[in-house]
C-alpha cells in the first residue's frame, strides 16, 4: 500500500510540475533599439514615439528594449549583428532576429515599417534570410 501511495504521489507531483511548465508563457518578441547618447535621430524617436510606444498594440506585442551602443552587448543578445549607426531597431523573437529598421524615418514611416516586421512574427520559418526591411 505504501508503494502505491508513493507512486500516486509521484504522478500527481509530475502532473503539477508539468502543468506549471506548460503554463509558463513563451518568450515574447522584443524590439531592441540600439542607441547612442549623442544621436539626434535617437532623440527624435524618443520625443515622438518613446512616450507612447508601450501603450500601443505594437508596444505590447514587442516591448521596446534599449541597448546603449557605448556599452557591452548583453550576452543574451549576442546573436544580433551590431552596426555602427544609430538608431537601429531589431525585432527579435525566441532568440532569433526577425528583421530590422535602420535609422529613424519619422513617425509615420516608422509605424508602417514596424507593422511589416510584426507581420513576420506570424509567418512560419521566418529567419535571418528575411532580415532587411530598411
The rounded mean pLDDT for the chain is: 82
Give 56-97 pLDDT, tens digit per residue.
999 999 999 999 999 999 999 999 999 989 999 999 999 999
Q: Assess whether the previous peptide bond of 87 is cis (omega < 30° from 0).
A: yes
CATH number for the domain formed by residue range(s) 30-130: 3.40.30.10
pLDDT at 117 over 50: yes
Query: 123 pLDDT exceeds 80?
Result: yes
User: Any alpha helices (H) in the chain, and if so which ranges?
Assistant: 2-23, 40-48, 57-61, 107-120
Q: Which three cell numbers stand for residue 64?
A: 521596446
Amino acid at each position: 500500500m505504501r508503494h502505491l501511495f508513493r507512486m500516486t504521489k509521484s504522478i500527481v507531483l509530475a502532473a503539477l510540475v508539468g502543468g506549471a511548465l506548460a503554463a509558463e508563457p513563451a518568450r515574447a518578441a522584443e524590439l531592441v533599439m540600439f542607441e547612442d547618447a549623442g544621436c539626434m535621430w535617437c532623440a527624435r524617436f524618443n520625443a515622438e514615439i518613446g512616450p507612447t510606444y508601450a501603450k500601443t498594440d505594437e508596444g505590447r506585442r514587442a516591448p521596446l528594449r534599449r541597448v546603449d551602443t557605448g556599452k557591452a552587448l548583453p550576452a543574451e543578445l549576442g546573436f544580433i549583428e551590431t552596426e555602427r549607426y544609430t538608431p537601429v531597431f531589431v525585432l527579435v523573437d525566441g532568440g532569433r532576429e526577425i528583421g530590422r529598421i535602420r535609422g529613424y524615418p519619422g513617425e509615420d514611416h516608422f509605424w508602417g515599417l514596424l507593422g511589416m516586421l510584426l507581420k513576420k512574427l506570424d509567418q512560419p520559418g521566418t529567419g535571418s534570410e528575411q532580415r532587411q526591411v530598411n
